[in-house]
Chain A
Amino acid sequence: MLRVEALFVERGGRPVLHGVDLTLAPGRTLAVIGESGAGKSTLIGAMLGIVRSRSGSVTWDGGDLRTAYPSLVMQEPRAAFNPALSLRRSVMEPVRARRLELPDGRIGRLCAGLELDPGLLDRRPHEVSIGQAQRLGILRALIASPPIVLFDEPLSALDAVTQKHTASLIAALQREEGFAALVVTHDLGYAAAHADDVVILRNGRIEEAAAAQSFFRAPRTAYGRALREAALALGALERIA
């Protein structure tokens, strides 16, 4: 169980996150939604210990989150890989770093789940499509069976069709593997389709936190309603007439 309590982060003397609280159980998906500058990426950085927080705690089952080896899927699929290494080497990095024994057939099973040809692993990052690169990024994030995966705008570099396809592959793997997923996104449509809970972040504060179903039925805050109307106006969500 992920528990973020009273997380407070400052940058250059200005508060970026003012006391953020979150919880996330295994097998569940939490969408953290907000506009640029709301503090979404800072939140991920602070959870991973890349950004220093001034106060607050981030724990998994009571211990430091970092000792649970959370993994990260980044926004720019190709930039997430070392261009000089084969994709196999990059994908296996979490296994090598922790000297884990990989169960037989693990790569094959994950590749099948992500609809990836295992032959792609012998290529370099620039020799695969963006959509494939992002699925390889997900493969790397899942290879060592982490209890929790952090996704930082995982779909925004992909086109609309690829986005929906990739999101459904992630959801299917989550049902099999049982990891908790924290997804930072500005895409309400994704959250409506795949999240169990949503948190609306605005100016470093939690504006609204709710079960996804109740949020999309009736947002409680004005900003939540504006987000929902925007998603409808942009065709990310559709009303039943």
Chain B
Amino acid sequence: MTLSVTGLSVRRAGHTILHPTDLTIESGERIALVGPSGSGKSTLGHALTDRIGGGRGVVAHAPQSPDEALDPLRTLQFHWREAERALGLSPDPGHQSDLLAALGLSRADLTTRPWGWSRGMQQRFVIAMALIGAPRLLILDEPTSALDPVIAAATMELVDRHLSASSTAMLLITHDLGLAARRAERIWVLEAGRIVEDAATAALLARPASLAARRLVAHRNWAVLPC
């Protein structure tokens, strides 16, 4: 099933942050939204979530930092139950332990408050929580930026495996084309609030058309390893 949105735009204090944009996302598709800082990537993610409506379980959004996702005064279990209730689901401990295990959190203590966990664990908890309602689209805003590389790579791997088993589509928001190229089959390049290029990953890497995409491709990796 295809998700499509037309005329998505955001204006704030008289400035246009996001110019009117039409988006279509196929079922199970993995898309990366790439662009420099300040180009409006997070804004697009928020606007898309708000437009489709997160509450009905169609789209789920995991913010960049756990501080933007979890109330420090409430336990992790409280957050989980609250998310279930918001989706109209009754508590399902089996589903919960499956999702937590999928993100490598099977033995974690949920009775503690978020700050009792490392930031990496919090981030994975937020992603697990986003998957509760089996959304058709999962939006991940810079999921690796709060994580150490080893944990970041493991997290992306776990998410990948979970998404492959369902038909959930992913929108990966990142400034890093290297990461995007490894994790997505289609790339949207955002610059100054406009999607300036929309192409299959291989095509974009081989023949970037826009100036923004050419800059991203030129600075794609730090180094190439002979191995």
Contacts and interface: CB of A to CB of B under 8 A. Distances in A.
Contact of A235 (B150, B151, B182, B215): B182
Interface stretch (B70-78, B81-89, B131-139, B218-226): B218-226
A231 interface: yes
Interface stretch (A10-18, A44-52, A90-98, A183-191): A183-191
Contact of A234 (B153, B219, B225, B226): B153
B37 A130 contact: yes
A234 B152 contact: yes
A230 B225 CA distance: 13
Interface stretch (A67-75, A159-167, A203-211): A159-167
A240 interface: yes
B113 to A, nearest CB: 19
Given A162-B36, A226-B150, A234 B221 contact: no
B157 interface: yes
B223 A192 contact: yes
Nearest to B218: A161
Interface in A58-102: none
Interface of chain B: mostly helix, strand, loop or mixed = helix
A232 interface: yes
A235 B32 CA distance: 13
Interface residues of B, number: 33
Contacts of A231: 149, 153
B116 interface: no
A217 B226 contact: yes
Contacts of B183: 235
A233 B176 contact: no
Contact of B223 (A186, A227, A237): A237
A35 interface: yes
Contacts of A161: 36, 175, 215-216, 219
Q: How large is the interface on A (under 10, 10 to 19, 20 to 34, 35 or more residues)?
A: 20 to 34
B92 interface: no
Interface string A176-218: 0000000000111110110000000000000000000000110
B225 A160 contact: no
B219 A160 contact: yes
Interface in A87-142: 130
Contact of B150 (A35, A189, A192, A239): A35
B227 A240 contact: yes
Contact of A192 (B149, B175, B225): B225
B182 A164 contact: no
Most buried by A among B36, B175, B219: B219
A239 B149 contact: no
Interface string B146-175: 001111111011000000000000000001
B224 A237 contact: yes
B153 A217 contact: no
B222 A159 contact: no
Nearest to A165: B219
A36 interface: yes
A236 interface: yes
Given A160-B175, A235-B176, A35 B148 contact: yes
Nearest to A168: B219
Given A190-B222, A235-B179, A230 B149 contact: yes
A181 B180 CA distance: 30
Contacts of A186: 148-149
Contacts of B150: 35, 226-227, 230
B66 to A, nearest CB: 13
A188 B151 CA distance: 14
16 contacts: A35-B148, A160-B219, A161-B175, A227-B150, A231-B153, A233-B157, A234-B144, A234-B149, A234-B153, A234-B178, A235-B181, A235-B183, A236-B222, A237-B221, A238-B178, A238-B220
Shortest beta-carbon contacts, A-B, top 3: A189-B222, A235-B178, A230-B153
